[in-house]
Amino acid sequence: MPELTRPHQSHFFADLDSTPLGLVDLVDESAAPASLWVEAWHSLRRRPLFWISATLIALVTLVALFPSLFTSLDPGFCELKYSLDPPTAGHPFGFDRQGCDIYSRTIYGARASVTVGVLTTLVVVLIGSVFGAFAGFYGGWFDSLLSRVTDIFFAIPLVLAAIVVMQMYDDVSVMTVTVVLGVFGWPQIARITRGAVMSVKNADFITAAKALGSSRLATLARHVMPNSAAPIIVTATVSLGIFIVAEATLSYLGIGLPTSIVSWGADISKAQASLRSQPSVLFYPAGALALTVLSFIMMGDVVRDALDPKARKR
Amino acid sequence: MAWYIGRRVLQMIPVFLGATLLIYAMVFLLPGDPVAALGGDRGLNPAVAEQIRAEFNLDKPFFVQYLLYLKGILTLDFGTTFSGRAVIDVMGEAFPVTIQLAVMALIFEGVLGIGFGLIAGLRKGGVFDATLLLVSLFVIAMPTFVIGFVMQYVVGVKLQWLPPTVGGDVSFQTLLMPAIVLGAVSFAYVLRLTRTSVAENLSADFVRTATAKGLTRSRVVNVHVLRNSLIPVITFLGADLGGLMAGAIVTEGIFNIPGVGNTLYKAIQQGQAPTVVSLVTVLVIVYIFANLFVDLLYAALDPRIRYA
Amino acid sequence: MSQTLPTAPVVVADSNVHVPLLAIRDLEVSFTTATGLVSAVRGVDLTVYPGQTVAIVGESGSGKSTTAHAIIDLLPGTGKVTAGSIMFDGTEITTATEKEIIALRGRAIGLVPQDPMSNLNPVWKIGYQVKEALKANGIAKGSAANARVTELLEEAGLPDAARRAKQYPHEFSGGMRQRALIAIALAARPKLLIADEPTSALDVTVQRQILDHLQHLTEELGTAVLFITHDLGLAAERAEHLVVMYRGKVVESGPAAQILSAPRHPYTQRLVASAPSLASRRIQSAKALGVTATELLAPTGGDGVSETRPDIVVVDNLTKVFHLRGGRPGAAKTFKAVDDVSFTIKRGTTMALVGESGSGKSTVANIMLNLIDPTEGKINFEGTDLSTLNKKQLFAFRRRVQPIFQDPYGSLDPMYSIYRTIEEPLRTHRVGDRKSRLQKVRDLLDMVSLPQSTMRRFPNELSGGQRQRVAIARALALEPDVIVCDEAVSALDVLVQAQILTLLNDLQAELGLTYLFITHDLAVVRQVADQVCVMKTGKIVESATTDEVFDNPREEYTRELLAAIPGAKLTF
């Protein structure tokens, strides 16, 4: 056997000073307590993208709530003699084909888009997370039924479904668009919630809560839902942007909001005709729309990174 | 595998029935009269309205209507357009164009999205990665029609590199720009998904084991990282076909391409409700079948799914 | 195994046993983090001679795996060698080019990784993954490679290798996967095999078979082995030279027997004293010399008086059948997880339910906790049949039986502060008012030796052992009679494990608790249990007092389990 001729390896041990023994499992009492949310916030506030998107979202929300703070002009006041005029003093973006001030129309257009986005997201999160949570937590026939229903809704793409319904209405309002997008948009959140709930519900702390005598509903509300919130929040934030795009697409197709409501989608649609002579007619409402959507999608992105402990550690 | 295909096809039946019922219910159970809407502001002659009602079976009970509509779908009879042509004939002309456009868009988003996503994922945190990520965010935030307008204006009108509209001349060259526009948003999604998936798989245990075997870096990436990373991307591409269809309506409208999307776009503009329903029904059926195909592809890529 | 193994000609022939195969000097490995460069390994010296087996022993975070990964340049993430040298067979690894490293990997240094479940690519067939190792190292190509793949898998102890090579990883059990991984690592006949906790994810009996097989193979091939493990007993049994690591440093190294019999560094001394496998072996040896077991043990509730204690739990002919949904029509089948199980637990004693994965021991625990209903049979708790409880009685029953789980990371709600976690049972059962509950939480934290300031913290800020203490505090909040410990110490490091076991023993003595202790580890049973039931595929195969089971095991399976405790050949 070769080991018989192997050189002798001596017994070595480090002196205690170089590797002091700590008490096993000592609690570090110096650091401030930090819940997962606090930790997420700490990692969020270091990201420049978070501050950029937060500022943009705040600005867009302010514009949508109080457009008159940003312009004194009435977006409905148009004079044909200014048709497609370049920017002048007091009209920094110039005029569109009808001679309306592009700046004030861009400002007032925010309200429709943001309202549709926010309301639709609320509807979708409300319906989707409740259905998804019950299906994922209780399983059984309700889960099977819900899975089939979401399959069916998934088979009809959002915009196609909206087209079928919206073409029937003549007087479309923000509420109509919200209801239609909400009714066809909830299955996605339901699926995400269901998945999140199912991955949490087998955790030992849920079993521990049951063994304590917590009722099923209390366990769902107190333990399962808070731990499933992260993917719902992220998806909802991103969806908000997607719904704004969907609304604009419907307006572009001429079946969304009517021209009597000032909206970016309708203005972009109208701008197509004037694009070649005056590109800024398209540029401003499209830019405002894209920036709004971008800010929500970016926010969803950074929030996802912050809430995902795996991504944070890397 | 045979069991998997069989089960998957069986699952398609309730989805198909449910989806068609849903579409039908949306149109005919909702408040508002689709026939009255046809007349626009002038209103419709009551006799003509009656005739249309009879033609589209609107005078019968809902479920009878639905069954007749279902029978129509199964016998490929989707009714006629207002100009008197059979919807199926119109589709026959328009579909090849749309399929060509969609395939070009899919190739664009698939090849470039996966390619760039792979590079970004391999160099996560680098300058190239950061730039791609930012560009993809902008593309996602931009509605397809805005991208379409801008491309048409800049590339078609200003630079005159590619024809700004298609019209009757359907060829690879004329469809190139519309295909890029159509695939742009999905390209961004595919890129991001590939990137995340590649970065995740790079730190997977089996990749480390493969490296420890003595494989070269390129072999590790091609054999062990890429194939595993494609699994979620393929799933996304299937679901995304729906987005591609909605996008086709917009894109074909902008570039005046004689495809299904444009036909649908015009039908919407002219308020031809029954035609819109027929066309959407056909698109939904295509979508359901495309997803079946994607699921089979998925099973081919991931052996675990076949036995699930 | 009687056949002689084919060896690649280059490997052993020219090895000079006096020249180290691997020489690590003053190694430092650091990771870049948000707060700067943090060193994970400092000043590590390590030598492996050709054909020698050296073991690195350490707890999680000791830097043992990091050291191993540095040798084949596979440090994860931002890890980097920041100082020192790794000399392997004439090549300086720290300065070698990527090409040189790739040439070494597989061909000169093989790696058997830790977790067999995640280390095979799920989308490729097993045979293909073995063949890759042959092709990459220029060993064989084409049909010759296919034949060699079968040979290698057979050699690694995989039965029916030719057919198995055409299967995917998900069709393999954990043990079979680990054998495939061994075949991959040895495919190119490396001079050094790094085995990183190669069997810690497997059942104990499988673990023993695979390690025996691996040892046999490497001895036959003359392969040097660097064996990474957390189990000192296992290391001493398998390696001739030990390197003990603690917090990124080598605290002690030397011949295995010497370290075991005369540990010099206080950390090693603690480790030798606490390792369950060694402790159990020590009791065994001591008994052989006529010393009574109780002198070597922390006092348990038993102490021979258990005969006179009343039964608190009586389990009668318990059977649980699960219905599994098949992937295809008609494939649905039933699975008997628990098969006619009966036992009794006396008040204030510890009953251990021992078995490998799939033995049904956790199902019994869940029935005991009344979380699932048995298909047949019943459990009597202080004379009351659990299946007859109505909703109100069940709620009252919950106060009296509480669980502690294995995974300290999954058993606490990450959204709840420690205070809320421990207070929840009190609030659910409407015990006391706000003020008295606060006092109770303070008392409970004292009881499990955690500072009171812990209660404002969240689980993510605590270590595994601390979380397990919190879980114990939560279980104690309602002052239960019975605690079901489902693998409660299995996921913990050795020293922490010893502390938690001591804590459980102390609490039993103080509060008169009764434990149902579910575990796969007989070594731990030796330290805590009064009675043992050994379970296999749903049935109880042997049931006796702990001493009887260890001294006179009647069943073959029990003997197998006992033999699987590492350190069987060690003497004290």
Residue A115 scores a pLDDT above 90: yes
Question: Strand (E) positions, C329-477?
Answer: 333-346, 350-354, 376-381, 384-385, 401-404
Q: Which of B30, B143, B291 sits opposite A168 (nearest CB)?
A: B30
At the topology level, CATH places domain C22-274 in: Rossmann fold (3.40.50)
Q: Say whether pLDDT at C367 is over 60.
A: yes
Nearest to B245 among A157, A268, A286 (CB): A157
Asked, colleague to colleague, whether C22-274 and C314-324+337-400+481-572 share their fold, the answer is yes
Helix (H) / strand (E) containing A193: helix A174-201
Contact A264, B120 (CB under 8 A): no
Least confident range of A143-152, C227-236, C298-307: C298-307
Measure the CA–CA gap between A77 and C63, rounded to whole angstroms: 73
Q: Could you give all domains of chain B from N- to C-terminal order, each with its CATH number?
A: 1-77+271-307 (no CATH), 89-268 (1.10.3720.10)
Q: At what angle do helices B227-255 and A225-252 cross, to 10 degrees?
A: 30
pLDDT surpassing 50 at residue C549? yes
Say whether pLDDT at C132 is over 70: yes
In which band, very low, low, confident or very high, does the pLDDT at A24 lie, cut at 50, 70 and 90?
Answer: low
- Give whole-number Cα distances, C379 to B137, C100, C313, C395, C475, in Å: 60, 65, 7, 17, 21
Candidate from C124, C133, C168 with C-beta closest to B213: C133
In angstroms, the CA C429 to CA C425 distance is 6
Q: Report CA-CA distances (Å) from B208 to B175, C73, C191.
A: 44, 10, 20
Contact B32 A168 (CB under 8 A): yes
**The complex's ipTM?**
0.83
Give contacts of B228 with chain C, Cβ < 8 Å: 121-123
Which of C47, C52, C371 is facing A211, going by the closest CB pair? C371
Chain B residues within 8 A of A274 when measuring between CB atoms: none
Q: How many residues does chain A have?
A: 314
- In angstroms, the separation between the Cα of residue A157 and the nearest Cα of chain C is 30
Please name each of the domains of chain A with its CATH number: 35-83+90-313 (1.10.3720.10)
Tokens 């399959």: give the residue: A151
pLDDT tens per residue, range B97-112:
988 999 899 999 999 9
The answer to whether the CB of C89 falls within 8 A of the CB of C191 is: yes
- C-contacting residues of B 174-213, CB under 8 Å? 203-213
Least confident of B127-131, C4-8, C43-47, C48-52: C4-8
Nearest-neighbour CA in chain A from B204: distance (Å) = 13
Lowest mean pLDDT among B226-240, C366-380, C393-407: B226-240
C224 to chain A, closest Cα gap in Å: 11
B237-296 residues touching A, CB cutoff 8 A: 239, 242-243, 245-246, 249-250, 253-254, 264-265, 268-269, 271, 273, 276-277, 280, 283-284, 287-288, 291
Please, what is the Cα angle at C263 between C200 and C529, to 5 degrees? Answer: 50
Q: Identify the band that residue A252 occupies on the pLDDT scale cut at 50, 70 and 90.
A: confident
Q: Do A35 and C369 touch (CB under 8 A)?
A: no
Measured distance CA(C555)–CA(C114) in Å, rounded = 31
Chain A residue with CA closest to B25: the answer is: A165
Residue among C6, C66, C16 nearest C194 (CA): C66
Which stretches of chain A sit within 8 Å of chain C by CB? 2-3, 5-7, 9-14, 16, 18-19, 21, 24-25, 27-29, 31, 33-36, 39, 203-205, 207-214, 218, 223, 226-227, 309, 314
CB contacts of B4 in chain C (<8 Å) are: 327
Sheet of C482-486, strand order:
C401-404, C482-486, C514-519, C350-354, C531-536, C539-545
Chain C contacts of B210, Cβ < 8 Å?
A: 121, 129, 132
CA distance C312 to C333: 36
List chain B residues with pLDDT less than 70: 28-44, 52-53, 55-59, 82, 306-308
CATH assignment of C314-324+337-400+481-572?
Answer: 3.40.50.300
Task: Give the residue-averaged pLDDT of C212-227.
Answer: 92
Shortest CA distance from C484: residue in chain A? A211
Residue A12 has pLDDT above 80, yes or no: yes
Question: Could you tell me which chain A residue has the CA closest to the CA of B241?
Answer: A157
Chosen for mutation from C17, C261, C415, C431 (greatest number of chain A CBs closer than 10 Å) is C415
Q: Does residue A272 surpass a pLDDT of 80? A: no
Cβ-based contacts of B243 with chain A (< 8 Å):
157, 159
Which of B153, B280, B288 is opposite residue A275, by nearest beta carbon? B153
Given this model, what pLDDT does residue C484 score?
95
Smallest CA-to-CA distance from A41 within A294, A240, A312, A247 is with: A312
Non-local (6+) Cβ contacts of A102 within 8 A are A91, A93, A94, A95, A96, A280, A281, A284, A285
Reply yes or no on whether the pLDDT at A301 is more than 50. Answer: yes
- The SS3 assignment for C43 reads strand
Percent of chain A surpassing pLDDT 90: 32
Of A161-170, A182-191, C529-538, least confident by mean pLDDT is: A161-170
CA distance to A272, B102, B158, per residue, from B184 (Å) = 20, 12, 21
Residue A77: which pLDDT band, with cuts at 50, 70 and 90?
A: confident
- What's the gap in Å between the CA of B4 and the closest CA on chain C? 8
* pLDDT tens for each residue of B58-88: 667 777 878 887 888 888 777 777 677 787 8
Option in C252, C425, C466 nearest A12 (CB): C252
Contact B277 A252 (CB under 8 A): no
| Amino acid (one-letter) located at C228 | I
Decide if pLDDT at A285 tops 90. Answer: no
Is some CB atom of chain C closer than 8 A to the CB atom of B297? no
Instruction: Give me the pLDDT at residue C464, please.
Output: 85
Per the CB < 8 Å rule, is B3 touching C122?
no
Enter the DSSP assignment of C44. Answer: E
CA distance A255 to chain B (A): 8
From the list C98, C105, C118, which residue is nearest B212 (CB)?
C105
CB contact under 8 A, C98 and B217: yes
Name residues 102-141 of chain B within 8 A of A (Cβ).
137-138, 140-141
Predicted structure pTM score:
0.85
Query: What's residue C300's pLDDT?
Result: 44
Ranking C375-384, C397-406, C490-499 by mean pLDDT, the lowest is C490-499
Closest among A172, A152, A156 to A164, alpha carbons compared: A156
Q: Collect all residues of chain A within an 8 Å Cβ-Cβ radius of residue C454.
A: 27
Q: How far apart are CA B17 and CA B14, in angstroms?
A: 5
Q: To the nearest 10°, the Cα dihedral for A142, A146, A149, A150?
A: -170
CA distance A89 to chain B (A): 27
Domain boundaries, chain C: 22-274, 314-324+337-400+481-572, 410-479
Q: With contact defined as beta carbons under 8 Å apart, do B104 and B186 qualify?
A: no
Q: From the CA of B299, how many Å to the nearest CA of chain A?
A: 19
Closest of A252, A287, A128 to residue A192, by C-alpha: A128
Task: State the smallest CA–CA distance between residue A158 and chain B in angstroms.
Answer: 8
Give the mutation candidate from A52, A144, A167 for the B interface (greatest B CB count, under 10 A): A167
Average pLDDT (C152-158) is: 91
Residue in B137, B265, B284 nearest the CB of A155: B284
On chain B, the residues whose CB falls within 8 A of the CB of A255 are 268
Neighbours of C (≥3 Cβ pairs closer than 8 A)?
A, B
Check if C395 contacts A (Cβ < 8 Å). yes
Q: Quick one: average pLDDT of A4-12? A: 71
